[in-house]
Amino acid sequence: MLTEERHSIIIDTVNRKKNVELNELCELLDTSESTVRRDLSILHDKGVLVKVRGGAIAVDDSYTAHEQNVDEKAVLFVKEKEAIARYAASLIEDGDFVFIDAGTTTEKMIDFIPARQVTFVTNAFVHAKRLAQRGFKVFLPAGEIKLSTEAIIGASCVLSLDQYNFTKCFMGVNGISVTGGFSTPDPNEASVKAAVINNSHTAYILADHSKFDKTSSVKFAFLNKCRIITDRLEDKKYLSETSVKEVL
């Protein structure tokens, strides 16, 4: 198959499906993974699609690879985050074994937790200290510290978390999209989030309205794997994908 023909098929497929995985394109084109990766890089540079980890997305889906640090995030949508956190905290019950993800919205949950007989695991060392100060039993996983998000990440962190079975988890997110699922820019953080969600009976994503219709570099879960808690939902298409709770 000629290069131009492959490119035409790739562009048509991505524009039609909005999100295509690398292995799907390999099968469609009957071409090696290295060739398809090269094709995607060329088309990405031309601006006709967005190459992401494991595939490509259409350019009409807002894409972000930038990761804001904690200080930058803390001043954004403060009222919305507090309302989301207050409702999320009300879902925690005595006897729960809960994972709380790193993040500015999840941190706000700590002041509102009504239950007392709860055990927590968190990959945020700031969250761990605040939970312990409130008298909760708290566990930190092993791993590497990522200072910009104040999170513990890496392969050791994932291995530590694989031993647990959580009743509930409360996760942060950078992008939510029908085509791109729940996503984040850092592959290491994505691995941690995916491991926790897979080991949780019920998973909640805490996200203000600005996170919708955005796709970041790495998908860590499909929309139907988690329930969403948000301030307001502007596009009702997400209601057909998963449970969404609006708190404002």
Residues 6+ apart with CB under 8 A from 134: 110, 113
Grouping H, G, I as helix, E, B as strand and the rest as coil, residue 24 is helix
CA–CA gap between residue 109 and residue 85 (Å, rounded): 5
Grouping H, G, I as helix, E, B as strand and the rest as coil, residue 142 is coil
Confidence (pLDDT) at 62: 62
Q: Could you state, in order of their start, the residue ranges of all structural domains in the chain?
A: 3-60, 70-246
Q: What percent of the chain has pLDDT over 90?
A: 70
CA–CA gap between residue 167 and residue 199 (Å, rounded): 9
Q: What is the pLDDT of residues 143-201, one digit of tens each?
A: 999 988 889 999 999 999 999 999 999 999 999 988 789 999 889 999 999 999 999 99
Query: Residue 247 is encoded by which pair of tokens?
Result: 């708190």
Between residues 16 and 239, the one the model is more confident about: 239
Q: What percent of the chain has pLDDT over 70?
A: 96
CA–CA gap between residue 17 and residue 113 (Å, rounded): 41
| Residue found by looking up tokens 């948000």 in the block | 230
One-letter amino acid of 20: V
Cα–Cα nearest to 161, from 99, 92, 227, 225: 99
Q: Which helix (H) or strand (E) holds 20?
A: strand 19-21
pLDDT band at residue 8 under the 50/70/90 scheme: confident
For the cut 60, the answer to whether the pLDDT of residue 66 exceeds it is no
One-letter amino acid of 187: P
For the cut 70, the answer to whether the pLDDT of residue 109 exceeds it is yes
Arithmetic mean of pLDDT over the chain: 91
Per-residue pLDDT, averaged over 129-146, amounts to 96
Domain 3-60, CATH among 2.60.40.10, 1.10.1040.10, 3.40.920.10, 1.10.10.10: 1.10.10.10
Please state, as a whole number, how many other Cβ atoms lie within 10 Å of the Cβ of residue 209.
17
Its pTM stands at 0.77
Between residues 54 and 133, the one the model is more confident about: 133
Kindly list the strands in the beta sheet with 175-177, ordered across the sheet, starting from the edge strand earlier in the chain: 175-177, 181-184, 218-221
The b-or-e profile of 104-121 (16+ CB within 10 A means b, else e) is bbbbbbbeebeeeebbbb
Confidence (pLDDT) at 247: 97
Per-residue pLDDT, averaged over 218-230, amounts to 95
- Out of 11-15, 47-51, 81-85, 115-119, pick the least confident: 47-51
For helices 3-17 and 33-46, angle between their N-to-C axes, nearest 10 degrees? 70
CATH no. of 70-246: 3.40.50.1360
Residues 6+ apart with CB under 8 A from 149: 67, 69, 70, 102, 103, 186, 189
Residues 6+ apart with CB under 8 A from 170: 88, 98, 99, 100, 101, 106, 109, 204, 206
Confidence (pLDDT) at 60: 58
Q: Which helix (H) or strand (E) holds 23?
A: helix 22-29
